[in-house]
Amino acid sequence: MSDDKKKYCGIADAHGLESFFSKDENEDRVGILIMRASLNRQRHAVYYEVELTQEQADEINALLADGDYIGACKLLHDPDFVESFGIAGGSNETALTRSWEMIPDPSLDPYWSGE
């Protein structure tokens, strides 16, 4: 990992980024986040890890502060923004990869009322 990048992690699902943390400062949360993602697979929830510069992290945090959870998630899907990522949250890696490719899309949430 480059010196100017840090690892970030959290949960992404059909509604976008649910959470975004510095992994180094929240290592004790990783197991809980993976468990939460695995328990919310109906929303295609996945635990993700990415390496970002501080500028990139600030951009994600600005979107989240504005309530743009979908926009923040879309940035993490943009290969011009993120070089690589990791996902977890269940035992079926193929299903997790498919979920990552489909999200964000609120219509994938079977309990979403559309409001």
Tell me if 100 is assigned to some domain.
yes
The pTM (predicted TM-score) of the whole model is 0.90
**Count of domains for the chain:** 1
Tell me if 93 is assigned to some domain.
yes
Q: What is the pLDDT of residues 40-79, one digit of tens each?
A: 999 999 999 999 999 999 999 999 999 999 999 999 999 9
Tell me if 69 is assigned to some domain.
yes
Q: What is the pLDDT of residues 11-39, one digit of tens each?
A: 999 999 999 999 999 999 999 999 999 99
Domain that holds residue 91: 5-108
Nearest to 19 by CA among 6, 32, 9: 9
* Cα–Cα separations (whole angstroms), residue 105 to 13, 44, 75: 8, 9, 14
Strand, coil or helix: what is 7?
strand
**CA angle (56, 109, 12) in 5-degree steps:** 20
Tell me if 38 is assigned to some domain.
yes
